Structure 1
């Protein structure tokens, strides 16, 4: 589970952390919060069998090593919403990935290599980055350390939800039904993640409350084909008295397909990158 959590976080952090966080200046609204295709037939069962299936799904998925991945993140606050969508390929163990991300009518090329995110920005955004270089980079390990390596980074990045499996218990796992995801028959489970069972529980509960809902769709081999998690995030910095929204809702939908696909991203030349680790939050504030 640890490997898949790391891989999902690294592979998706660009869309979650860099594009969707622009909700305060987003234009318009997108009310579509559902997944791609797939009709679900209703059923209601769960218990110990369902809990075991969901918990082992992370290991079984990571054992496939690589996959195609699509990502959709919708961030809403103060009556506005921003949507980021991405597609590409990911190494499920170490998080190396290549992805094309679209948000706000613009597209970004992203690569993740050795836990460092590289994004090639559109010309309009590039002019706002020091050095006017085509690529920016963010070192995920350094960024986590600057945020005290703790729960706030886990919450601000919903793709880290693989680690939430530790908070799933028998009493809050339910089999919702079946659905076809990208042509594959799946079983859908709805779980409630108990924050008290996760590390950094106190901080997590302050930001998202005592529980978080999560849905997973598993194929007949027990692998994750789709995962959706929705969080209402409350700010913890009470020193900020600005008129910025005091709460945002983030819904992230991830889908996996084509297990075993080739993933070999390369870091851009150092001379074409600007290191933005620890600077993005300050520029957004």
Structure 2
């Protein structure tokens, strides 16, 4: 049971830190500073940056996104679209992973999460259906554990989550006005305090899972470099995070030696956002294609 909890904790930590849904704390929803449609003076204070960008993102509510994550020579890619609107949240995402013959598809509608497993893998979960369903508020053991993890995974697709990270754990170290994909953009470099992030991101997780994840970070002082690009409307268009420090901290917590100089752990996550405010439609799979998870005894 302890090994299972440790494994789940590792998965939880990877999910909650691996990408960019609760919106940032309400700061009065004041109009965004410099709201003139073009690039303006750069923010020097993280709180002012978050207030401006989260106001815009909360107004737009929808976006399309892509994600690319690299770690130890492996590459994971995903694409999807989401409506980030409290109880009306909905998201669809397709993810490709090394060693998997087919892409994994996930759809979130309110508190229901549907996952389309690679062909043949459903049998390990006791179903011959292509889709499985998790309830984010379910009382069964699977939903209690993995439902909470999937909630966090869904939240990370919400670009406002990256803003919340900056609000609660970040410090702006540098900024510039530049071009991204041919469009003007404000570029910010931010240092994130990992311990503060873990405390924030594990809220609502099962106690044993959260405890293991926090234990792995205890006594560590780890900074995660983040870069954020905002367009002329102050909407996030790209977020990158250097996950090498996280990978190293997790490895050391499991008893692995520290990386030798010049051979540090590597890992990077890049999220891109487009089509802000465009309509998003996410539908549940046909009922006869959805199976129930059964744990082998």
TM range (shorter): 0.5 to 0.7
Q: Is the 8 A contact 1:186 1:219 kept in 2?
A: yes
Deviations 1:212-251 (A, max 9, x none): 221110011111011112331444997x889xxxx97653
Question: Does the 8 Å CA contact 2:135/2:147 hold for their aligned counterparts?
Answer: no
**Cα shift at 1:134:** 0.5
| Partner residue, 1:29 | none
Alignment correspondent of 1:96 = 90
How far apart in 1 are the matches of 2:122 and 2:146? 25
Residues 224 and 256 in structure 1, CA contact (< 8 A), matched pair in contact too = yes
Task: Specify the alignment match of 1:4 in structure 2.
Answer: none
Alpha carbons 1:167, 1:197 under 8 Å: kept: yes
Per the normalisation by structure 2, the TM-score is 0.59
Among 271, 278, 284, the residue aligned to 1:267: 284
Query: Structure 2: which 5+ residue stretches go unaligned?
Result: 1-10, 19-41, 201-212, 257-263
Match of 1:65 in 2: 61
Partner-residue secondary structure (3-state), 1:228: strand
Q: Which ranges in structure 1 are unaligned for 5 or more consecutive residues?
A: 1-12, 21-44
Change (3 A) 1:200 1:100: closer
Paired residues of 1:216 and 1:228 also in contact (CA < 8 A): yes
C-alpha root-mean-square deviation of aligned residues, in Å? 4.3
Corresponding residue number in structure 1 for 2:275:
258
Cα distance, 1:52 vs structure 2: 1.9
- Note if contact 1:218-1:224 (Cα within 8 Å) is conserved in structure 2: yes
> Which structure shows the higher strand fraction?
1
- 8 Å Cα contact 2:114/2:133 also seen in 1: yes
Query: Superposed, which structure 2 residues align to 1:1-285 within 5 Å?
Result: 17=15, 47-48=44-45, 52-74=48-70, 76=71, 80-94=72-86, 95-104=89-98, 106-141=102-137, 146=145, 160-168=161-169, 172-181=172-181, 183-195=182-194, 200=199, 203=214, 205-206=217-218, 209-231=221-243, 232-233=246-247, 234-235=249-250, 250-275=267-292
CA contact (8 A) 2:169 2:194 kept: no
**Partners of 1:46 and 1:173 within 8 A in 2:** no
The corresponding residue for 2:210 is: none
Counterparts of 1:190 and 1:237, CA distance in 2: 27
